[in-house]
Amino acid sequence: MLDYLYKSFRFLPIAPGVLKSGLETYLSEQRAWCESADFSALFPFKELELPQDFFLQKVMHCDGVDYLTGPRFLNGNIESPYIELAASSGPLTSKAAEQIFKLWEPLQAKHIRVLRPAKEKGKGIRDQGFYACSLPAKATRDHSFESCPDNLVLKKAVMSDLQWCLNTLDVSYQEAYRRMPQLKDRLSPTDKDYLQELIEMDSVMIIMQGQTKVGLMAYEESLREFIQAYWMIEKAILPDYQGQHLSSKAQMLLCQQLTHDTEDRVLIGHIDNDNIPSIKTAEQGGRERILDYVFLSREDVV
């Protein structure tokens, strides 16, 4: 599986050694979930009246190809099951898809979710897109961009800013729910404990316009899925200051500040396909869609 995954995702703007190491870690975790009672205990086996071990991930073999699959529920909704194609050693064929659906038949899932390059054409319903931009090395850092024309600067949040940050997220998300009610069950702000951890790691930036706090950004340097990168966790502008492209400009400013000594490092985050404002902000800030999570029905796999 490792060789096929590496071949499939080597186009990503990540150093080859970093990508391969991330894939090895990812595969190790996904395979461990084939035997982990702690993993299967996370699922609603009692509510669905299924054995707990049914929810262990499974490897299915078809025509010489291995498919590592697992159960999932969209946004934790017990009525919205789907099957995750976590990894494989070859492409998903219609025959393999049919066998995967049969393997997980008690789940009554109607879709298999796959991760594929954004430029790859194909059927299916897009779930989330991964938006990324390469970060400049120290030698190429553009010092002229350390302050924006809008007089924007980024200030590291400290623990005394925690409550302001929580209030800002709450107000911003409520405004987002008002504008996009369809996302209310799919988007939620970072909780207090995690936000506190990010502040302690100096990974929360308050967006300042002059002396006024207008929003915040939070990020984390970590391995997620199989990508070692700076991951965008939060990006919020207070409603009174929205519509001025401050978020995208602050994102570009953050990219200039996240300099590094090595090549092929990225700022990345995934965005719900229906969250049009966040997608526009990411693109205006220099990030492009490089990967998609896509839901495939039986009819979509040919």
Mean predicted confidence (pLDDT) in 174-197: 94
54 shares its domain with 100: yes
Domain span at residue 241 reads 132-290
pLDDT digits (tens, 9 = 90+) for 46-55: 999 999 999 9
15 shares its domain with 70: yes
User: At residue 289, does pLDDT exceed 70?
Assistant: yes
155 shares its domain with 260: yes
User: At residue 136, does pLDDT exceed 90?
Assistant: no
199 shares its domain with 84: no
169 shares its domain with 286: yes
106 shares its domain with 136: no
User: At residue 80, does pLDDT exceed 60?
Assistant: yes
% of residues, the chain, pLDDT over 70: 93
pLDDT band at 2; cut points 50, 70, 90: very high
User: At residue 19, does pLDDT exceed 70?
Assistant: yes
pLDDT digits (tens, 9 = 90+) for 106-126: 999 999 999 999 999 889 999
Q: Report which residue type is found at 90.
A: G
73 shares its domain with 145: no
**65-79, 209-223, 258-272, 279-293: segment of lowest average pLDDT:** 258-272
Could you tell me if residue 136 is inside a domain?
A: yes
- Picking from 128, 127, 122, the residue whose alpha carbon sits closest to that of residue 300 is 122
Could you tell me if residue 302 is inside a domain?
A: no
161 shares its domain with 36: no
Last residue of a domain, one of 110, 141, 176: 110
Could you tell me if residue 299 is inside a domain?
A: no
Could you tell me if residue 155 is inside a domain?
A: yes
Last residue of a domain, one of 76, 110, 144: 110
Could you tell me if residue 182 is inside a domain?
A: yes
Q: In what order do the strands lie in the sheet with 152-156?
A: 58-62, 65-73, 81-88, 112-117, 288-296, 125-134, 266-272, 227-237, 212-224, 204-209, 152-156
Last residue of a domain, one of 52, 80, 110: 110
148 shares its domain with 276: yes
pLDDT digits (tens, 9 = 90+) for 92-105: 999 999 999 999 99
Could you tell me if residue 210 is inside a domain?
A: yes
% of residues, the chain, pLDDT over 90: 86
Per-residue model confidence (pLDDT) at position 121:
84
DSSP letter, residue 298: G
Could you give the number of structural domains in the chain?
2
pLDDT band at 144; cut points 50, 70, 90: very low
Mean predicted confidence (pLDDT) in 261-289: 88
CA distance 12 to 20: 11
pLDDT digits (tens, 9 = 90+) for 149-182: 568 999 999 999 999 999 999 999 999 999 999 9
CATH of the domain at 239: 3.40.630.30
Could you tell me if residue 25 is inside a domain?
A: yes
265 shares its domain with 174: yes
Could you tell me if residue 300 is inside a domain?
A: no
Q: Report which residue type is found at 279.
A: I
52 shares its domain with 140: no
Q: What is the pTM of this model?
A: 0.91
201 shares its domain with 265: yes
